[in-house]
Amino acid sequence: MPIHKTAKAFLILLLAACALSSCQSYKNVPYYKDLDKNGVVTEKITNSTDYVIRTGDILGINITSRNPESVAVFNYNLARVNGNAYNTSPDNPVIGYRVDENGNIHLPLAGDIKASGSTTQQLTESLGKTLLTYLKDPVVNIRVVNFKVYVYGDVARPNAYTISDEHPTVTQALTIAGDLNITGLRKKVLLIRTEDGERKYIPLDLTSRTIFQSPYFYLKNNDEIYVTPGRAKLTANGLPVLGIVISALSVVAILLTRN
């Protein structure tokens, strides 16, 4: 076969391979591929549970009462944690009652209160009953103020994020981090969770709607989300095929000029 015919045939095959490669890469990009997007789909939420307080959580507790002068000792007019002065510099903005290694918080007058293992609503109710001894008609509001997730890997803005909502989801955390880069592998998102002295590595697939039914869809404090980068991440522009094409076209051009 003449050299120019060989070169042309090689070029056609190369372009076809590149087109096929691009097509295959795109198939891995969309989320929820198994969801019918032509109409409204409704399903029951069965995997949502209230956040359970854990050791190490910091609880922001605000208490009001008919006798406001008595309630001041429980609230943070001055920044204090467990009775001790607390650093309120920009590097340490979190103020609240820390759940100690025994699962307790320590309140003035009331002493140690069991917190771990309860939801914020359960603790709100039990603490309200306890404070009846010291306050008239106390009203208690509690939230976790150090709820933090770590998102890294192939995302737009990898970082540690403090979230005010105590019931965030995997997709919400990824959205806060700017979503996955186009090179991130949607089928290989890894949730890393440490609890009860164990570390779990949990694979998640964002291309399937079953992510919403996963028992790990709702995050816990200090969860980590790692997005695996694809092979395209190896190049600065995320398109390694382009380098191959340029090199191959150079070879073809040389062959054609020699003919």
Could you read off the pLDDT of 107-126 as tens digits, one per residue? 888 899 999 999 999 999 99
Q: Of 94, 125, 144, which marks where a domain is finished?
A: 144
Q: What string of DSSP letters covers 16-75?
A: HHHHHHHHHHHHTSSS-TTS-TTS-------S--PPBP-TT-EEEEEEE-SSHHHHTTTS
Same structural domain, 184 and 154: yes
Q: Which domain holds residue 95?
A: 58-144
- Of the chain, the end-to-end C-alpha distance in Å amounts to 12
Q: Indicate whether 127 and 240 sit together in one domain.
A: no
Looking at the predicted structure, is the pLDDT value of residue 229 above 90?
A: yes
What's 111's domain CATH number? Answer: 3.30.1950.10
In a domain, 53, yes or no: no
Residues 137 and 88 in one domain: yes
The single residue listed with the structure tokens 């070169």 is 7
The per-residue pLDDT for 28 is 74
With cut-offs at 50, 70 and 90, classify the pLDDT of residue 241. low
Domains contained in the chain, number: 2
pLDDT band for position 80 (cuts 50, 70, 90): very low
Residue 70 confidence (pLDDT)? 82
Which of 86, 120, 144 is a domain's end point? 144
